Amino acid sequence: MTTIAERLSAVSQRIKAAAQDAGRNPDSVTLLAVSKRKPLKDIEAALALGLRAFGENYVREGVEKIQGLAQSRPGHGAQWHYIGPIQSNKTAPIAEHFDWVQSLDRAKLAQRLNDQRPSHLNPLQICIQVNISGESSKSGLAPEEVETLAALVASLPHLELRGLMAIPKATDDQEEQHRQFAAMKALFDRLKEKHPQIDTLSMGMSGDLEAAIMEGATMVRLGTALFGTRTD
Ligand SMILES: *Cc1c(COP(=O)(O)O)cnc(C)c1O
How would residue 43 be classed by pLDDT, with cut points 50, 70 and 90?
A: very high
Distance (angstroms) between ligand 1 centre and the Cα of 59 equals 15
Distance (angstroms) between ligand 1 centre and the Cα of 189 equals 24
For every residue of 108-145, DSSP letters joined together read: HHHHHHHHHS-TTSPPEEEEEEE-TT--TTS-SB-GGG
Give the whole-angstrom CA distance, residue 61 versus residue 119: 24
pLDDT value at residue 210: 96
Yes or no: say if 212 and 204 are a contact pair by the CB < 8 Å rule: yes
Torsion (CA) 76, 205, 140, 151 in degrees, nearest 10:
60
Residue 1: pLDDT over 80: no
Q: Which atom of ligand 1 is nearest to the CA of 167?
A: 13
Per-residue pLDDT reduced to its tens digit, 20-40: 999 999 999 999 999 999 999
pLDDT value at residue 180: 96
How would residue 161 be classed by pLDDT, with cut points 50, 70 and 90?
A: very high
Confirm or reject: Cβ of 57 under 6 Å from ligand 1: yes
Confirm or reject: Cβ of 148 under 6 Å from ligand 1: no
Q: Which atom of ligand 1 is nearest to the CA of 226?
A: 9
How would residue 2 be classed by pLDDT, with cut points 50, 70 and 90?
A: confident
Distance (angstroms) between ligand 1 centre and the Cα of 84 equals 9
Per-residue pLDDT reduced to its tens digit, 126-150: 999 999 999 888 899 999 999 999 9
Per-residue pLDDT reduced to its tens digit, 65-99: 999 999 999 999 999 999 999 999 999 999 999 99
pLDDT value at residue 231: 73
- Tell me, rounded to whole angstroms, the distance of Cα 187 from its chain centroid: 17
Q: What is the pTM of this model?
A: 0.97
Give the whole-angstrom CA distance, residue 152 versus residue 140: 16
pLDDT value at residue 6: 97
Architecture category of domain 4-227 in CATH: Alpha-Beta Barrel (3.20)
Per-residue pLDDT reduced to its tens digit, 162-199: 999 999 998 999 999 999 999 999 999 999 999 999 99
Cα 132–Cα 134–Cα 140 angle in degrees, nearest 5:
60
Residue 232: pLDDT over 70: no
Confirm or reject: Cβ of 206 under 6 Å from ligand 1: yes
**Mean pLDDT across 115-121:** 98
pLDDT value at residue 230: 85
The residue extents of the domains of the chain are: 4-227
